[in-house]
Structure 1
């Protein structure tokens, strides 16, 4: 017995080892077959990570696994993925492995496909990405009686957790199947057989902008008869579940040379109105288990005919419900008096003759009755719509009667009475004469709140009248936050905006007593270290769908810390750009005129503005406007009036304010100043300390005019003149928007302010012109406005004074006349004559008395004493005397005051 068990154990172990080892012998052969099959049959790039063979996983059959398969296209869909699959399993008899694949095909009995994704696409030229099979002349040369590779003799197959996408760019159609699980049992080898299938998936269908199916749940159990000889597939016992609507259908589909022939009939087996609620996606209808319903609902129809390039099957699908109602157990309201009579028909087989006839769609909630009907034709070409709406809806009742998931509650009464008849081509081409709309729409007590809104919008009343060519907004009264808005106007293409991708065109008059900009702008979270991982806030965009003109008139507009009154002007919005024309406002006790634009079409919003400021209160303006503070910070110390014209452009930051480092432009400013209050201005204090001969609080700035340019974060000021009494001052330079300065000021100081020492020295020249002498004193101002650095330079002053004194003395000598000049020349000649007696009493050069002695004394020593005079103190130069004089604090009795 032990011997038998031992032999049995060794035998089983040997078999197990063989089952594990043998696949490695055949694995390279399997890979070769897979690659040859792909290369012989497909015009596409195919990759897979591995092909493996196992006798264990599907014993007693062999299993071949292809993992991580990816198929990508050649041109015209180069490098686009056609299909991918995580795992493909092929089960076959072990004996198939011993066949010569070049002579006998390998028969596959079972296929399992896991996590597959297939993307089928047709472009606008009609080219498809799935036409990748090689034509006969492209296939490798093989004997005609041989079919190398694999052949199918399927008994079982399964598709697990997969998806299919179909995109048709020409018809703008998108069809999605997700969460697809499908299995079938049967065989394809016989001429006539049966296939038993089970399918579950979610289906979405969108044609143009209309979504016909939205993630609808689909289940199908179908017994399909296969007539492979005639390519006919018959539905024998079939039950489908669309969302929760049960359907039974029967019929067949037969493949023809020029298309397919279809003959299918279907209907729901019951007649409960709950079946209608089941058509609505479960996401919106919720659970129907405890819903109370009354009335009936029936859907039935047929699809019969040929599908070819020119024709579609005829069809007649009808939905009818009479005197129905429903009530959800957790909601207080009931929807009743429901009547539905709708059909989809085509009697010719031409796609363009398909139409939808909604004869009746009526319901009632509380006392509010809503009635509607519509006929929609030419679904595949120029869609035409003829619709009627007549009813009242209390918006608050919608969520109390039906389980709608609203992020925010709706309130208000909607009253509509409207007839409309139009075609899509008329909308697309603005052929308003073919658009016939009449009626009115009235909204009362409407309130809407959203996370995208700073405050809820409350519309007390809005009235719209529909005319054949236009839509009139007769009345619009609303509030949000502390703002009130009243509007009226004309909308030119409301239907084009609603049913197509047209822009909303119109002209509106908007009035407001109080308009707070903060009621419409959400605060953005700064990007600090604490929230740097937060999702960035999308920059504000002007809606691309707007193409309108707004005539604005607001009594008071509040923006940040600014208060604007009597705001009037025109606003044009188009292509994500807002253009301001003839805007005017009262602000800072003056008048503001404004033209320009804001453009948000680019990644970084840009702006351009022309500002005309008239009679602005300087102190208020410079304390209230950051832009003016940056252009001329020192002006905040001024009291008086400002006239200015500013042209600027640049970028806007996330808070929709100008990025100062990006703006460029120019400005002209005129000051009508009455007073300077420099007590808090570090710059004026620094100037006062460095240049004591000027009292900067008493500068004469009346009618000051200056020009500025700014670019790349710098403000450049062209030279302008001011005065302090009879001291002329010229200023120019630049500063950055970060307040770094580089300014030069030149002070023309009259000689009378130079002090007694300077005046005594220059008084040696007895000439009236001396009284008009002045010297330039330069001051260089750097640092920042809060920490200024002031340096004075007297070099140019000394040079200027010397030149002026020489010029005055020169003119004085010239004016003495020809005789005096000849005498001086003669004197010079005598001093140079060697025969002149040594004991001559003339020991000095005649020209030295009026010029040399005086000027040398003034310029070199500040004294007229002879050179041989004994002195105990070093003589002072003009520069020393000027320095003392200009930096000496003036006294109240001093002439400088």
Structure 2
């Protein structure tokens, strides 16, 4: 009853409408009803003629391609494409005409859905409006000879020549679901492989071609522009929109700039591809704002990322990248990458650079026309600023080129307080406390595993008013100035002023072939020094006598660093010094106008042609010191000319003799000696360690207050002056062996007495010296000048035979014995 009432009201409202409205409504209802009936009729027809329709579709597609399209079956899906008819084709396969030769199938899809134009279909024409492909593989293949299976699609000229129309000309939409897209270009050695989760696109046509708006969700399995170097964006998710335009006449596909998510970052990407037979060039422009270094590096091919991953920047950076190439050309395309880094923190293999800023450029075409490869690759860093371990520096420009054998070059500048070096140099090697450093040099260096090797530098390093301590030898230098001038091969060192305690040393030096030997054979390095000093206190440099203190070895996991190389250089290199010192002091020894050639090596010290003015005379010296752990062995040949013997003995601490000291001697000594022995690291002579020979001449000599002579002669020569015994000319020789000195037979002619002496003097026990003393007073013969007559008269009269030997109190005692007994004891 209610329904009748409702229908009655509806009919009353219709009757109330104007006549034209009622007529229009009837026409629309008729058209709708006709469409429904027609669609149902078409559906019935399609459903009852599936095989015929599939054959027709297959025929139409094959007419528009240079190849073959096949399908297993077809099912209509009417509601999916209403008001069009949608056809679901199962197991569709699309092969080009040369498939049998290369076996790469262009399309293999489990579901190949198409939407067709109903009216056109009723008139016998197949117009596909939409394609939907699922669970499929699309494989574009380019053979080594340049042939591509994309040639399956007839060109516009081919269609016009044959009078054919395209079934695909009016495709308005397309979708891909779970599709693998592969583009394998054997000619260009390029491999693109994408897993497409979902792709939806719409096409608009114009007189020039078509434009497509695409939404993409996919992942990249491979984007290899050179399969030998690996893939870009490997295993990264892709998500975004693409606006693509195809120009049929120009045969180009243009990607308008659009944001695309790659992995966790967003990139703005645009590009252009030429797809004609005569032109396959392409270009891509990629821009990323605020991307982390590691994220950017991990998007690149392995040959680039494995190098870049040795570095890292903590803050995001701005990067642009242009890729230009030929899809059919073998090898890499051109890469041009630009980055702007501001106030960042750069991690490098040897540490961290703080406050880092620079503009960087990478390209694999350093020299135009020489190809796009590692040997022609370069990184340019402009206006590079930063702080390495608190040491500020700037490089106006720096270049790393030839990635097959990388070479770094540039200009390095830095000014900083010298104590900042304490952060970079091991405190167990060098300690800096005061002063300033000014560095500017050009450098060029090989890079192996991104470690600088064999650098060649030219420039200047200045150190002013620096306090430096060399820890392994405990040597300290105050108020030090140094200028290091590097040429391409050699190192020149000038303007050095060292102050250690009271010593002041000025130095100039050079090292020939420095940089080459430093990295290959540091033990062959020779530092040639010219050393001058107004005053030098040798005790302040005794650190050179002992062995260097060994630094704690680096952990095995650590690579060799600058500290290790410096330490090895100090330990292994040789130093050749030409020395000139105005005043020289060492304990009691003083000298003036010292000149010497000294060689310092790993094993010890060699002294050549040393000449010193000492005690009114001159001493020349040649010798060496071999360094040991607790003591050092020396070997010396010395010539002493006309030195005051009392000063000479005093300077050398009386050679450790207890009975005969500098207070007992006067005269001028000339001597030749060849002596070896041991000295401690403190510069003291090791007791009883000397061995060698000494030959001497004493002019105008005197023995003053020598107690053993006085005690023996006060009874034998009571009226002679035993406090001051003078010698006109005394010659002799000693043979030193440990604590004992063998006195070669020696004739002594003095103012008090004449004496023949021979035997052994011992610093410990074992003194046994034979003395023959004529009692005749030498004054009686003072007027005789004939040597033979003097020798004849010398032993006239009584001759005492004495023996000097150890006493019970440790002092030397002289006693009268028979000549026979004396000779027996001495021998």
Which TM bucket (shorter chain)? 0.3 to 0.5
TM score, norm. by length of structure 2:
0.47
Report the structure number with the largest CA radius of gyration: 2
The answer to which structure has the higher strand fraction is 2
